[in-house]
Amino acid sequence: MIRRLSPSPLLLAMALALAACQDSQTRPDQATASAPVSEEPGQGATGKEEPRNLHAELRALFGGYEYVPTREDLMQVGPAEEVVPVLLELYRSEKVSPHQQHHALRALQFYPEHPQVARTYEEVIRGEESSDQERRVAVRAYGRAFGDQGLELLGFALAHPDYHTRASAIAALELTGSERSLELLQARLNEEPETELQAEIKRILDDAGKSEATR
Amino acid sequence: MNRANLPRLIALLATMASATALSACVPQEPADEQPLIVVDDDPDPTDTDAGGDEDTSPQPDVDEEPETVCTNACSSANDGQCDDGGTGALFESCAYGTDCADCGERPVIEEPDPDPDPEPDPEPICTDSCQYANDGECDDGGPAAQYDVCTYGTDCGDCGSRDARRSCNSNAECSEGRVCNATGQCVSSQGASSIEFVTLTDFQATAQDVWDSEFEVGGDVRSVSLIVEMMTPSATAYIWEVGTPQNTLLYDIERSEQSLMKLNPVTYGGQMGILLPNSPQYALSAGTYRVRLWTEDTSRVRVHALIKRGPLNPQGGTLPVTFWFTDQDYMDASEAQRSTAFQEGLEVFRQIYANIGIAIGPVRYRDVEGTLGRQLAVPQDEVVLCEGIRQVATEADLSGINLFMIDQAADQSFLGISCGLPGASTRPGVARAGAAIALAYLDFSPEIFGETVAHEAGHYLGLFHTTERDGASHDPLDDTPECPSSRDSNGDDFVSPEECINLSADNTMFWTSFSQGGRQTTLTPHQRFVLMNNALIETY
């Protein structure tokens, strides 16, 4: 075994950038290529242009084994006024898999300005008929979309009877990372009935304290 | 490294391509570890007849009028959305032509309508997928075979069709020198593979440190699986270079696109596997190989090699599997053995691997108890997931691959994920890992669930996606058709299975599932080559 000098950070950055061009088995965040031109017989545009089928495009986007669609992917599909109604339809449709439903629900986070998005998340998070899985997806997505503006609803989720809904709310608040979100966690600390979630809240508060001290 | 930054880093690095593999010793199971072998002898034939109500099959008609199909037999017909999967349809939840009110009349298509007849007797096995097929000698190890270098039934041109009926369930039922293969026939064997375990390095790395590890390869070595083990699970390391005895670079992180070897060069949950060779494009040569490692964080680091010897062209192999059930509401280890949906999914997984000669088994079922069982059920990020999997799998110390059944990933909604590509192979005393699959999606489609299990196991054993979503990146194998971005007919910047028909859309390792219709049950001979090299699979 031979010890060597470290490569420079620049070298590493270059290497990572190169590698990022390659494939991934989890979730590549790299930009997508420009719109390709179909050259395969029977695949490209024929004389008659077919209208875009957003349902099909979104369902295909939501079918990846590991792939987690990004904001860029959704923006590529179309503007909010076209995409959000389809996302809502897919999320509520029994014709698609729960996997695609969850992705559709999650993807609403990229359109926080659309009036139906916050309302939908609130319905799912507060709704007694929502499945646990939907609610957890909504909590994480809502946290990403609204952050500090969504603390009231995240506070509701923080006290939800479902363990993993609370765990999702804690994770969402950690990601938000604002002073107010930490205050919310602090207020919840002694009320959380599960010791491991209490410990998780404490870890987040301690980490925040440490980073504050470093600053 | 700050834990909050790890998911981002992993996400970035996950975009990298690469692969090598590890090894795996395959220790004998102690008597009390005897697997609960699942025998799904109830392939429930109910509901297989799709042609119940309205017959949409083309009628023999000599009339010149184009024949059309128009019924409203579908349960979601006339709901304002066209659901029959034809031109302009929003969904495919109805059979073609059975949502006439929303879709209008449909021209009859002269396609063979998939109407899967339940067949009591399996079809004879007959493919020519073996590299030695059609060379004038029967090579599949079956009756009257001259050689046993092909999987049973894959040298059809020379051996003829092979009986697919199961005649054995274990080697004990076969005569001396023969083994019970993945599809249940006694075949001749070249002898079992063996694993030599060597710890190459054990050192205390500082942050941003670079180290070289070396290992010797002899002429009889079939493959080498390396395990990089960070004793601090949150610490991260990268493979920087892999050099051959001839001082050429098989892999260079700074020129990964040009490297002969494709790698995923980053640790997951503090572990990483590397498989050599992970493509038939290059072979191991005798001499000293060098692997350069870059550690991002301070940690004690150990690098091990699992050196595999055995048949050059194995006829088959076995992969022990442990299903771990986290603390979710769907099922525990005991219930899974009685769950029709789970067993159906398992059968899909079994069949995909059996097709290339790999028998899944022994199969074990275990519960993940306590706090960790609950945390892993709905992991909030993949770092937590992979660190937890490492902890459970390492403590259990079982041979083979560990597959964790979780509820869902609330923030990512993936079907499954592998902690490593390839993941660390198993070896007593060495940290282990595994892959996770979401049970939340089992009931919707046990077939897709089974394909997901096969897909994630494929990653863990060293297989890349045949085609990535952009159509620009592909695996390093020559016989997996590449679906190029030019097939993106709707301009949405990714290639769907429907756009990649005949271009590996039916391959288990395609980047995305069909989701509605379509199966992904194919693995190619080169993918088989990679799997057979992995130390987790005992070959014969």
pLDDT tens by residue, B55-88: 333 333 444 566 788 888 888 888 888 888 777 7
User: What is the rounded CA–CA span in Å between residue B468 and residue B335?
Assistant: 36
Do A158 and A94 share a structural domain? no
> What's the Cα-to-Cα distance from B479 to each of B126, B256, B297, rounded to whole Å?
19, 21, 39
Return the minimum-mean-pLDDT range out of A13-22, A145-154, B67-76, B432-441. A13-22
DSSP classification of residue B399: S
| Domain containing residue A191 | 134-215
Say what the pLDDT of residue B64 is. Answer: 54
> Which residues sit opposite B304 in a β-bridge?
B199, B227
Q: Residue B65 has what pLDDT?
A: 60
- How many CB atoms lie under 10 A from the CB of residue B12? 19
- pLDDT reported for residue B116: 56
| Helix (H), strand (E) at residue A202 | helix A195-214
Helix (H, G, I), strand (E, B) or coil at B497: helix
* Domain topology for B314-539: Collagenase (Catalytic Domain) (3.40.390)
Q: Clarify whether residues A142 and A209 are in a common domain.
A: yes
Contact B200, B304 (CB under 8 A): yes
Residue with tokens 């199969």: B363
Same domain, A104 and A160: no
Taking 80 as the threshold, does the pLDDT of residue A107 lie above it? yes
Q: Do B408 and A136 touch (CB under 8 A)?
A: yes
Do A139 and A202 lie in one domain? The reply is: yes
Alpha carbon dihedral A175, A177, A180, A184, in 10-degree steps, equals 50
* Residue A145 domain flag: yes
User: B512 and A140: CB-CB below 8 Å?
Assistant: no
pLDDT at B225: 93
Peptide bond into B362 cis (omega under 30): yes
- Per the domain annotation, does A211 fall within a domain? yes
Instruction: Kindly report which listed range (B223-227, B424-428, B479-483, B534-538) carries the lowest average pLDDT score.
Output: B424-428
- Report the alpha-carbon distance of residue B388 to residue B393 in Å, rounded: 9
Could you say which residues from 66 to 85 on chain A have a Cβ atom under 8 Å away from some Cβ of chain B? Answer: 66-68, 73, 76-77
Q: Where in chain B is the domain with CATH 3.40.390.10?
A: 314-539
What is the nearest CA distance from B506 to chain A, expressed in angstroms?
14
Q: Which amino acid is at B230?
A: M
Cα–Cα distance for residue pair A93/A87, rounded to 1 Å? 10
Determine whether the interchain pair B212/A4 forms a contact, defined as Cβ–Cβ distance below 8 Å.
yes
Burial of A195 (0-12, 13-18, 19+ CB in 10 A): exposed
- All residues of chain B having their beta carbon less than 8 Å from the beta carbon of residue A56 are 90, 490
**Which of A146, A140, A196, A107 is closest to B410 using CA atoms?**
A140
Length of chain A (residues): 215
Q: Which pLDDT band holds residue B296 (cuts at 50, 70, 90)?
A: very high
Q: How far is B141 from chain A (nearest CA, A)?
A: 36
Do A60 and B498 touch, CB atoms closer than 8 A? Answer: yes
Distances (CA, A) of A80 to A108, A112, B276: 9, 10, 47
- Do A143 and A209 belong to one domain? yes
What's residue A26's pLDDT? Answer: 34
Q: How many structural domains is chain A composed of?
A: 2
The secondary structure of residue A145, as a DSSP letter, is H
Dump pLDDT digits (tens) for A31-87: 222 333 333 333 333 445 567 789 989 999 999 999 999 999 999 999 999 999 999
Residue that terminates a domain, selected from A96, A111, A126: A111
Residues near B263 by Cβ (< 8 Å), separated by ≥ 6?
Answer: B16, B17, B18, B19, B20, B239, B242, B251, B256, B274
Rounded Cα distance, B502 and A42, in Å? 13
More confident call, B64 vs B285: B285
Q: Where in chain B is the domain with CATH 2.60.120.380?
A: 3-25+193-309
pLDDT in tens, A154-209: 999 999 999 999 999 999 999 999 999 999 999 999 999 999 999 999 999 999 88
B399 has a pLDDT exceeding 60: yes
- Please tell me the least confidently modeled range out of B274-278, B346-350, B487-491: B487-491
pLDDT value at position B115?
62
Inter-axis angle of helices A151-158 and A115-126, to 10 degrees? 20
Considering only CB atoms, which chain B residues are within 8 Å of A22? 15-18, 256-257, 262, 473
A206: in domain: yes
* Beta carbons of B511 and A65 less than 8 Å apart: yes
A75 falls within a domain: yes
Return the SS3 of B334: helix
Q: Which of A57, A73, A139 sits opposite B490 (nearest CB)?
A: A57
Residue A158 placed within a domain: yes
Assess whether pLDDT exceeds 70 at residue B508: yes
Q: Say yes or no: A159 and A215 in one domain.
A: yes
Region B31-36: mean pLDDT is 32
Q: What pLDDT is recorded for position B9?
A: 33
- DSSP state at residue B509: T
Other Cβ atoms less than 10 A from the Cβ of B51: the count is 11
The pLDDT confidence band at residue A214, using thresholds 50, 70 and 90, is low
Q: Which of B206, B303, B492, B501 to mutate to test the interface with A (most CBs of A within 10 A)?
A: B492
Structure tokens at B463: 């297989």
* Cα–Cα distance for residue pair A106/A142, rounded to 1 Å: 8
φ, ψ for residue A132 (rounded to 5)? -60, -40
Binning pLDDT at 50, 70 and 90, where does residue B170 land?
A: confident
Contact B239, B272 (CB under 8 A): yes
Considering only CB atoms, A95 lies closest to which of B83, B456, B490, namely: B83
pTM of the model: 0.80
Q: Is the pLDDT of residue B252 over 70?
A: yes
Residue B385 one-letter amino acid: L
Asked if B496 and A60 count as a contact pair (C-beta separation under 8 A), the reply is yes
Please check whether residue A140 lies inside any domain of the structure: yes
Question: How many Cβ atoms from other residues are within 10 Å of residue A51's Cβ?
Answer: 6
- Hey, what are B343's tokens? 């067993």
Q: Report how far apart the first and last C-alpha atoms of chain B are (Å, whole number).
A: 43
Same domain, A91 and A160: no
What architecture (CATH level 2) is domain B3-25+193-309? Sandwich (2.60)
Distance of alpha carbon B322 from alpha carbon B317, whole angstroms: 17
Residues A83 and A158 in one domain: no
pLDDT higher than 80, residue B51? no
Q: Are A83 and A74 in contact (CB under 8 A)?
A: yes
Alpha helices in A36-161 (DSSP H): 54-61, 71-77, 80-92, 98-107, 115-126, 132-146, 151-158
Q: Are B239 and B293 a contacting pair, CB within 8 Å? A: yes
CA dist A78 → A45, A73, A93, B360, B490 (Å): 19, 9, 20, 44, 13
Report the pLDDT value the prediction gives residue B111, as an integer from 0 to 100: 55
Return the pLDDT at B42: 32
- Is residue A119, in this structure, part of any structural domain at all? no
In a domain, A15, yes or no: no
Q: Report how many Cβ contacts below 8 Å link chain A to chain B.
A: 266
**Residue of A86, A94, A95, A91 whose CA lies nearest to A114:** A86
Question: CB of B22 within 8 A of CB of B226?
Answer: yes
Top pLDDT among A30 and B515 is at B515
